[in-house]
A and B are shown apart, each in its own frame.
Chain A
Amino acid sequence: MPTNPLTWMIFLPLLGAAVILCLPRDNHSLVKWTALAFTIPALLLAIGIYQGFDRTTAQMQYVTKIPWIPSFNIEYFVGIDGLSVTMVLLTALIAPICVAASWEIDKAPKAYFALFLVLIAAMMGVFCALDFFLFFVFWEVMLLPMYFLIGIWGGPRREYAAIKFFLYTMVGSVLMLIAMLALYFHNDPHTFDMLKLAEARSTYSSTFQSLAWLALFIGFAIKIPAFPFHTWLPDAHVEAPTAISVILAGVLLKMGTYGILRVNFPILPEGTLRYAFWLLAALGAWNIVYGALCAMAQKDLKKLIAYSSISHMGYVMFGMASLTAEGIDGAVLQMFNHGTVTAMLFLLVGVIYDRAHHRNIDGFGGLASIMPVYTAWVALAFFAAMGLPGLSAFISEVLVLLGGWRNYPGLTAVAASAVVLTAGYMLWAMQRVYLGKPNEKYLNLPDISPREIATLVPLGIIVIVLGVYPHAILDLIDTSLQHLNGTVLAAGKAAGAVASAASGAAAH
């Protein structure tokens, strides 16, 4: 029996998928309970990891390393540090919530939950893998269930949205494949071990760093999604069923920024320094502003939240680009916070869509008086998304902006001004949907159900707790991230020293 909790967290959902496929077709509730039963253990293990995680070291923890394909030096190599532990926690938390949010699925629930569990396993694998090949396999495995989940259980234009998501992501991943192979063959002995690839960082030539960095970046940027690769996201979100939107925005988008921090930063630090301003900071700031502006123009509530995701993921890019202690901590904290907040938002949109069967912002009005409990939850989630002090996202956005200010004051001013835009579209949507005169059509809508509240409670608690005590997460991530940041800056100094020595020699 494997003793590493990470291995269990990756493969239990897969086992669950296999079990579900063997269940009788007609017993829907058995399928759902089984799916829940295979996501709860991962959550418990995650809580154990949260308590047992050593916060004082930047080393990998919970490491397992087994040869997989010895002739090509491919390993089953998993482990987590402060960067990945937050993502593992987030995935473990969101998974059972999504199962609960999918309780009303009636169309082929066996296939739905089996695919869903495969998706969870793949995402967990991405965040735990330390062998690049393994990372890539999990990264790609995630595509297939997502394609079917959007394509079969989605909205009216689901076929278009599903294939668009698939094609965009695959374009990115094939570029990643080439960069990965180039890194593999550059090292002698050839290796996919990300830690060894990172140790050899000084041996990659300048051109190699630039090209590999760009190839990897495009792969990750499509996932974030960064402008101009973002257009798949609104389509996918609008068509996807609620739970899939939650997992998409809550966890899947983070794979992009996680990839940049896990691969680009430590392995190609020179490339990171070279492109930090234009491709991370400037693009991040543009993402923040552009996403906010697009969100403001939306008529569909779900699309509005999809664009707000693009805007909020911009903070993550901007924070990591600052290459400061506050900025990079803020970026990863923002990844976690956005995961919880946006999950709430999509769940809440799902609640109203299930009742009214549309999401037109102008088609409602005065829901606050019809569904008061629901509206209270909406208020919490909207204020959190706005970055209201006292709620989680405020801390991470402030950290990002503080860090950014040190290196890019001009861009920071732009990014900070978008906070006003965010408040604008959030409050405006709030006003149109929930305040004002109740719409006659919807006077009889039932308020939020206990099951729906149950999916929101854990997220709400986290949003409030992290708003007043962010160290619950910051302590986890700080050591690893400062080490990572130091690595990148040190590579910059080394390259600078070489360059100045060369120019000095030329002067003599």
Chain B
Amino acid sequence: MGAAMAAPTHLGNLSSLGWLLPEILVGLAVVAIFLLDLVVDDKERLGDVALGVMAIAIVLITRLLWAGDRSLFENSVVVDGFGLYFKLLVALAAFGAIWMSLGSREVHRTNQGEYWGILLASALGMMFMGSATNLLMAYLSLEFVSLTSYVLSGYKQGSRRAGEAALKYLIYGGVASGAMIYGMSWIYGLAGSLDFHAIHDALAGSPSGASLALFVALLLTLAGLGYKVAAFPFHAWAPDVYEGAPIPISGFLAVGSKAAGFALLIRFFYTALAHDGGAGAYQLVGGVSWDQLMLALSVLTMTFGNLAALNQQSNLKRLLAYSSIAHAGYVLMGLVVLTTDGLRAMLFYLAVYYVMNLGAFLVVMLVANSTGREDLDGFRGLAWRGGAWPAAAMAVFLFSLTGLPPLAGFVGKFYLFAAVVERKMYFLALAGVVNSVLSLFYYAKVVRTMFLEQPTGGEGAVTVDVHNGILLGVLVAATLVLGVAWSPLMDFADRSARFFLG
């Protein structure tokens, strides 16, 4: 143990490589898949390769959990509890998305090998987003994720909606990342460094005379980050992209891209613009009350997402897109409170959100696979025309998203509300719970369509194959189990709710 303590924690370029095995593996796999694409005829096999690579990457990430914290590549990326938590989450999201893609008719029809390579590349970028500790690295990883996502969301060939989705995503993304890099340049100007920790020190050491400039810089930076997590008012791309993209990709964007965005957002704001003031409470530096900004963002995001979802009548993917906006708002509540309790609540919630939201997308995919429909009418009477299990699973996922016990989503929301009430921010808690009630209305609408309405006969039968059934079973079980025995995950989130500051 003594020797481990003495080992250097800040590593140079070469010695860093050993701590980056998961990323290196995924990166090599991307190249390998592009090359194999030239020689392999059955492109599904490439999907199997991608799935295997992701599985190995998950194991490699898990091994790093006990290896201690390191700062790599001259302080550009870090391996710490927080980063590994998100790396694991993103890798699991990619694994789920690949598994879903292998069982998806839409993806199967395209029969193109590079789909798997680009999916892995996107995951690679997300893994870096959670561990970047340098504005440049942050920007590069975020942009890498964006570029790959543009391609993935437009992957359905011959579909106008897919083309529209990719184009909208690209244009919104271009504007947002432009604003962000402009904001970052202001921050560099104010702090004289791109390194999160150095920015913190510079801001903490300076009088707060430049707080207006910093405020503007943060607003601009938030545009890029808010766009990634689909927070109001940077959310407008989400419904169109979710609708146009292949369903596994919509799911991947909703759970993976959002988690990675939050990882970057949280690390940047908690390490560059605040520091642990002791007793689990964070203190702001730089004289900008960005927690108030987050408060407004949180309330607006959840309210807008829910109200828009209430208005959303037909397409399930659009409904889930608005719901995912609303959930970004809930998660932001954890950022507002500036405590370790809020931090771990966010980590916990994003993991739970992964399980239940991916599950919801999976059921949408199952129905689309069998009937080719993604609209609410395609779900009519699902429980009474052979789809009792997917319907029941969907009900579990949707009620979990609503936040009802004994499902995982309740526990996630419970910890978020607890963190808010602990700080006596009753107004925010009230906004959160009122929004939960609002959300019940549209989630229950789907449940009602599946269970309370009778099929009219034209909907088509829904069947579940073994491949998708396994994933569905795992996700349902996880949603139920995490609703009553969440201690292990909470302990893990608790352990991961800290940053390596060197």
A positions within 8 Å CB-CB of B = 69-72, 136-137, 140-141, 143-144, 147-148, 151-152, 158-159, 162-163, 166-167, 170-171, 174-175, 177-178, 181-182, 184-185
CB of B399 within 8 A of chain A?
A: yes
Kindly list chain B residues whose C-beta atoms are within 8 Å of the C-beta of A162.
Answer: 448, 452
Closest 3 CB pairs of A and B: A174-B433, A181-B421, A137-B405
Assess A151 versus B448: contact at CB under 8 Å? Given A71-B487, A71-B490.
yes
Contact across chains for B451 and A152 when beta carbons are under 8 A apart = yes
Kindly list chain A residues whose C-beta atoms are within 8 Å of the C-beta of B276.
Answer: none
> Can you list 12 A-B contacts (CB < 8 A)?
A69-B487, A140-B404, A140-B410, A151-B451, A162-B452, A170-B436, A177-B433, A178-B417, A181-B422, A181-B429, A182-B421, A185-B421
Given A71-B490, A185-B421, 18 more pairs with CB closer than 8 A: A71-B494, A137-B410, A141-B404, A141-B405, A144-B399, A159-B448, A159-B452, A162-B448, A162-B452, A163-B448, A166-B444, A167-B440, A174-B433, A174-B434, A174-B437, A177-B433, A181-B417, A185-B418
CB of B486 within 8 A of chain A?
A: yes
Kindly list chain B residues whose C-beta atoms are within 8 Å of the C-beta of A148.
Answer: 451
Residue of A nearest to B421 (CB): A181
Contact across chains for B417 and A177 when beta carbons are under 8 A apart = yes
- How many A-B residue contacts, CB cutoff 8 Å? 74
Alpha-carbon distance between A182 and B426 when the two chains are bound, in angstroms:
9
CB of B491 within 8 A of chain A?
A: yes
How big is the B interface, by class? Answer: 20 to 34
Query: What distance in Å separates the Cβ of A144 from its nearest Cβ neighbour in chain B?
Result: 6
CB of B182 within 8 A of chain A?
A: no
Contact across chains for B486 and A69 when beta carbons are under 8 A apart = yes
Majority DSSP secondary structure for residues of A touching B = helix
Kindly list chain B residues whose C-beta atoms are within 8 Å of the C-beta of A166.
Answer: 440, 444
CB of B430 within 8 A of chain A?
A: yes
Q: Which of B410, B417, B430, B433 has the most CB of A within 10 A?
A: B433
Query: What distance in Å separates the Cβ of A254 from its nearest Cβ neighbour in chain B?
Result: 21
Q: Which of A147, A151, A162 has the most CB of B within 10 A?
A: A147
Assess A144 versus B404: contact at CB under 8 Å? Given A152-B451, A159-B448.
yes
Kindly list chain B residues whose C-beta atoms are within 8 Å of the C-beta of A71.
Answer: 487, 490-491, 494
CB of B406 within 8 A of chain A?
A: yes
Assess A163 versus B444: contact at CB under 8 Å? Given A71-B491, A71-B494, A171-B437.
yes
Contact across chains for B405 and A136 when beta carbons are under 8 A apart = yes
Contact across chains for B437 and A181 when beta carbons are under 8 A apart = no
Query: What distance in Å separates the Cβ of B330 from its nearest Cβ neighbour in chain A?
Result: 13
Alpha-carbon distance between A158 and B454 when the two chains are bound, in angstroms:
13
Kindly list chain B residues whose C-beta atoms are within 8 Å of the C-beta of A152.
Answer: 451-452
Query: What distance in Å separates the Cβ of B473 from its nearest Cβ neighbour in chain A?
Result: 14
Residue of A nearest to B420 (CB): A181
Contact across chains for B399 and A69 when beta carbons are under 8 A apart = no
Alpha-carbon distance between A184 and B422 when the two chains are bound, in angstroms:
9
Kindly list chain B residues whose C-beta atoms are within 8 Å of the C-beta of A171.
Answer: 437
Kindly list chain B residues whose C-beta atoms are within 8 Å of the C-beta of A159.
Answer: 448, 452-453
Alpha-carbon distance between A140 and B440 when the two chains are bound, in angstroms:
13
Query: What distance in Å separates the Cβ of A471 from its nearest Cβ neighbour in chain B?
Result: 39
Contact across chains for A178 and B421 when beta carbons are under 8 A apart = yes
Query: What distance in Å separates the Cβ of B42 from its nearest Cβ neighbour in chain A?
Result: 39
Alpha-carbon distance between A184 and B430 when the two chains are bound, in angstroms:
17
Alpha-carbon distance between A47 and B89 when the two chains are bound, in angstroms:
51
The listed residue (A69, A137, A158, A167) touching B437 by CB distance below 8 A is: A167
Contact across chains for B406 and A137 when beta carbons are under 8 A apart = yes
Alpha-carbon distance between A170 and B429 when the two chains are bound, in angstroms:
15
Kindly list chain A residues whose C-beta atoms are within 8 Å of the C-beta of B441.
Answer: 163, 167
Kindly list chain A residues whose C-beta atoms are within 8 Å of the C-beta of B486.
Answer: 69
Kindly list chain B residues whose C-beta atoms are within 8 Å of the C-beta of A178.
Answer: 417, 421, 426, 429-430, 433
Kindly list chain B residues whose C-beta atoms are within 8 Å of the C-beta of A175.
Answer: 433
Residue of A nearest to B438 (CB): A167
Query: What distance in Å separates the Cβ of A10 from its nearest Cβ neighbour in chain B?
Result: 13
Kindly list chain A residues whose C-beta atoms are within 8 Å of the C-beta of B487.
Answer: 69-71
Contact across chains for A170 and B418 when beta carbons are under 8 A apart = no
Alpha-carbon distance between A159 and B430 when the two chains are bound, in angstroms:
28
Contact across chains for B452 and A151 when beta carbons are under 8 A apart = yes
Residue of B nearest to A211 (CB): B426
Kindly list chain B residues whose C-beta atoms are within 8 Å of the C-beta of A144.
Answer: 399, 404
Alpha-carbon distance between A159 and B446 when the two chains are bound, in angstroms:
12
Residue of B nearest to A143 (CB): B404
Query: What distance in Å separates the Cβ of B407 from its nearest Cβ neighbour in chain A?
Result: 9
Alpha-carbon distance between A162 and B444 when the two chains are bound, in angstroms:
10
Alpha-carbon distance between A163 and B444 when the two chains are bound, in angstroms:
8
Query: What distance in Å separates the Cβ of B171 from its nearest Cβ neighbour in chain A?
Result: 39
The listed residue (B405, B426, B429) touching A140 by CB distance below 8 A is: B405
Residue of A nearest to B490 (CB): A71
Within 8 A of A (CB), among B62-117: none
Query: What distance in Å separates the Cβ of B502 from its nearest Cβ neighbour in chain A?
Result: 29
Kindly list chain A residues whose C-beta atoms are within 8 Å of the C-beta of B410.
Answer: 137, 140
Query: What distance in Å separates the Cβ of A68 from its nearest Cβ neighbour in chain B?
Result: 8
Alpha-carbon distance between A69 and B490 when the two chains are bound, in angstroms:
10
Residue of B nearest to A148 (CB): B451
Alpha-carbon distance between A176 and B11 when the two chains are bound, in angstroms:
51
Contact across chains for B406 and A141 when beta carbons are under 8 A apart = yes
Residue of B nearest to A138 (CB): B405
Alpha-carbon distance between A178 and B436 when the two chains are bound, in angstroms:
13
Alpha-carbon distance between A167 and B436 when the two chains are bound, in angstroms:
10
Query: What distance in Å separates the Cβ of B425 from its nearest Cβ neighbour in chain A?
Result: 11
Kindly list chain A residues whose C-beta atoms are within 8 Å of the C-beta of B437.
Answer: 167, 170-171, 174
Query: What distance in Å separates the Cβ of B459 from its nearest Cβ neighbour in chain A?
Result: 18
Per-residue A-contact encoding for B474-502, CB less than 8 Å = 1, 0 else: 00000000000011001100100000000
Residue of A nearest to B392 (CB): A111
Residue of A nearest to B414 (CB): A177
Alpha-carbon distance between A170 and B399 when the two chains are bound, in angstroms:
12
Q: Which of B404, B426, B436 has the most CB of A within 10 A?
A: B404
Query: What distance in Å separates the Cβ of A297 from its nearest Cβ neighbour in chain B?
Result: 30
Residue of A nearest to B436 (CB): A174
Residue of A nearest to B429 (CB): A178
Residue of A nearest to B448 (CB): A159
Query: What distance in Å separates the Cβ of B136 from its nearest Cβ neighbour in chain A?
Result: 38
Kindly list chain B residues whose C-beta atoms are within 8 Å of the C-beta of A140.
Answer: 404-405, 410
Kindly list chain A residues whose C-beta atoms are within 8 Å of the C-beta of B426.
Answer: 178, 182
Kindly list chain B residues whose C-beta atoms are within 8 Å of the C-beta of A163.
Answer: 441, 444, 448
Alpha-carbon distance between A138 and B486 when the two chains are bound, in angstroms:
17
Kindly list chain A residues whose C-beta atoms are within 8 Å of the C-beta of B453.
Answer: 159
Alpha-carbon distance between A181 and B487 when the two chains are bound, in angstroms:
19
Residue of B nearest to A168 (CB): B437
Alpha-carbon distance between A151 and B486 when the two chains are bound, in angstroms:
31
Alpha-carbon distance between A373 and B430 when the two chains are bound, in angstroms:
54
Residue of A nearest to B487 (CB): A69
Query: What distance in Å separates the Cβ of A372 from its nearest Cβ neighbour in chain B?
Result: 40
Kindly list chain B residues whose C-beta atoms are within 8 Å of the C-beta of A167.
Answer: 437, 440-441
Kindly list chain B residues whose C-beta atoms are within 8 Å of the C-beta of A158.
Answer: 452
Alpha-carbon distance between A182 and B417 when the two chains are bound, in angstroms:
10
Per-residue A-contact encoding for B132-158, CB less than 8 Å = 1, 0 else: 000000000000000000000000000
Kindly list chain A residues whose C-beta atoms are within 8 Å of the C-beta of B451.
Answer: 148, 151-152
Kindly list chain A residues whose C-beta atoms are within 8 Å of the C-beta of B434.
Answer: 174
Q: Which of B448, B452, B453 has the most CB of A within 10 A?
A: B452
Kindly list chain A residues whose C-beta atoms are within 8 Å of the C-beta of B452.
Answer: 151-152, 158-159, 162
Residue of B nearest to A25 (CB): B388
Alpha-carbon distance between A403 and B287 when the two chains are bound, in angstroms:
61
Alpha-carbon distance between A162 and B421 when the two chains are bound, in angstroms:
31
Residue of A nearest to B399 (CB): A144
Residue of A nearest to B426 (CB): A178
Residue of B nearest to A21 (CB): B392
Query: What distance in Å separates the Cβ of A180 from its nearest Cβ neighbour in chain B?
Result: 9
Query: What distance in Å separates the Cβ of A397 from its nearest Cβ neighbour in chain B?
Result: 36
Query: What distance in Å separates the Cβ of A148 from its nearest Cβ neighbour in chain B?
Result: 6
Within 8 A of A (CB), among B419-465: 421-422, 426, 429-430, 433-434, 436-437, 440-441, 444, 448, 451-453
